[in-house]
Structure 1
Amino acid sequence: MSFRTAYGNAWSENGWRMCNRDECEIVDGPHMDTAPLRSGAPAIILGDFVRRYDREVAPVISEVWGWSALNAVGDSNHLSGTAVDINAPQWAWGVRTMPATLVDRIEALVAEYEGAVFWGRWWDRPDEMHFQIGWPESDPRLDRIVAKITNPTPAYNPRTDPYVRTGFLQLIPPSRWPQ
């Protein structure tokens, strides 16, 4: 694993060290086979985000862009493997063209990551295809979001809730209570 200086920058805009491709991995997800992401929290968080975007927001219909060796922006988060562009050809850089319903769905999804994912649409020069890690490298909040993704809370089961059982038993005659 190795790090580098790109365009005179050792760190990207979001506070991560610039890295070489060997610091990245390919994660499972729609059209992500060409989107290397920084191993660790960025791969887990952004990989999960892209998969959920595909299921909950809109289909991912073109290659996702991730880490890059070169970039037009010298401190780009793509140079540190901490950013993705989703459905890139569909959403031009510098203009807001997404319909309001899509914007609302994306903002709801981004909110579930509690600040760990930042959307490029919020910049003065919008980049609606762009999503990146919202916190700097080694921020302890990243561990909490990774744990939320990798160890989700089990779904609530009303059959095992003693209050539900007690309430249910009050509705049926004692002769029909389960043994």
Structure 2
Amino acid sequence: MTPMAKSQNGFPASANRAEIDVRVFPVNGTAVKLPVRADVAPRLVEMAHWFHVHVEPLRAGECHGYAFRPIEGSTVLSNHASGTAIDLNAPSHPMGKHGTVPAAKRAAISAKARELGLRWGGDFTGRVDEMHFEVLANGHQPATRPTIKRGARGDAVREAQGILNRKQSAGLAVDGIFGPLTDKAVREFQRRGGLEVDGIVGPKTWGRLLA
């Protein structure tokens, strides 16, 4: 039997929504209905309702849930593919644009997401996605991050660059290109952490970056 595909957060993903128990759930007080995985629906729907009340009214046709597709610019399946992510008022909060929600509300959005065991795309260390909320791996094994080194490109490189900027003020462009400056920053991170200094972000270096 072929193993079921998994989304980025490790939940089973399928083009057949019934296979992963994706159902449609209404958001109270709105005309919005979200197709999401049933066992995580209470958290995602509560987040959507809270956003509607405390940030801005939700608009039908602009809020989305399940969609079997990869992450934009990647071959890794999006968490939408497992029904464990939602996008709220998507046209008002385009991917990659920072500051689409009021600065005074950012901390509250982030705190509410964490309270519900979710991650808000406005907190992403690489490409921000302020419309987006996703379920953290919860009893599911997260998808393994790929080993990356000089010459690599993609989302894993962006993630590593963002973490290096945060942890050691590396000053890298978060562009998804593993060039000489990223290589230098990785080697410095490895040196400081007592790791083998080879410029390769494998399991041990990822483990320290994500700790």
Common fold, TM-score beyond 0.5? yes
- 2:49 matched to which residue of 1? 51
| TM-score, normalised by the number of residues in structure 1 | 0.64
- Percentage of pairs with the same residue: 30
**Cα distance in 2, alignment partners of residues 53 and 26 from structure 1:** 18
Q: Find out whether 1:21 has 2:14 as its counterpart.
A: no
* Residues 17-96 of structure 1 mapped to structure 2, 5 A cutoff: 17-19=12-14, 20-22=16-18, 23-29=21-27, 30-33=30-33, 35-40=34-39, 42-62=40-60, 63-71=62-70, 72=72, 73=74, 74-96=76-98
- 1:135 matched to which residue of 2? 137
Q: Find out whether 1:122 has 2:123 as its counterpart.
A: yes
Structure scoring higher RCO (CA < 8 A, sep ≥ 6) equals 1
Cα distance change on mapping 1:4 and 1:57 into 2, 3 Å = farther
Q: Is the 8 A contact 1:12 1:76 kept in 2?
A: yes
* Aligned residue pairs, count: 129
Cα distance change on mapping 1:28 and 1:110 into 2, 3 Å = same
Q: Is the 8 A contact 1:57 1:105 kept in 2?
A: no
* Residues 148-167 of structure 1 mapped to structure 2, 5 A cutoff: none
Q: Name the amino acid aligned to 1:13.
A: Q
- 2:198 matched to which residue of 1? none
Q: Give the deviation of 1:58 after TM superposition.
A: 2.1
Q: Name the amino acid aligned to 1:90.
A: S
Over the residues paired in the alignment, what is the CA RMSD in angstroms? 2.3
| TM-score, normalised by the number of residues in structure 2 | 0.55
Q: Give the deviation of 1:57 after TM superposition.
A: 2.5
**Cα distance in 2, alignment partners of residues 4 and 128 from structure 1:** 32
- CA deviation string 1:121-168 (max 9, x = no partner): 2221000000000123559xxxxxxxxxxxxxxxxxxxxxxxxxxxxx
Q: Give the deviation of 1:61 after TM superposition.
A: 2.5
**Cα distance in 2, alignment partners of residues 18 and 136 from structure 1:** 15
Structure 1 residue ranges, 4+ long, deviating more than 2 angstroms after superposition: 30-33, 69-74, 135-139
- CA deviation string 1:80-138 (max 9, x = no partner): 0000001100011012022311313312322432xx11011222100000000012355
Q: Is the 8 A contact 2:13 2:68 kept in 1?
A: no
Question: Runs of 5+ in structure 1 lacking a partner?
Answer: 140-179
Q: Is the 8 A contact 1:117 1:131 kept in 2?
A: yes
SS of equivalent to 1:101: helix
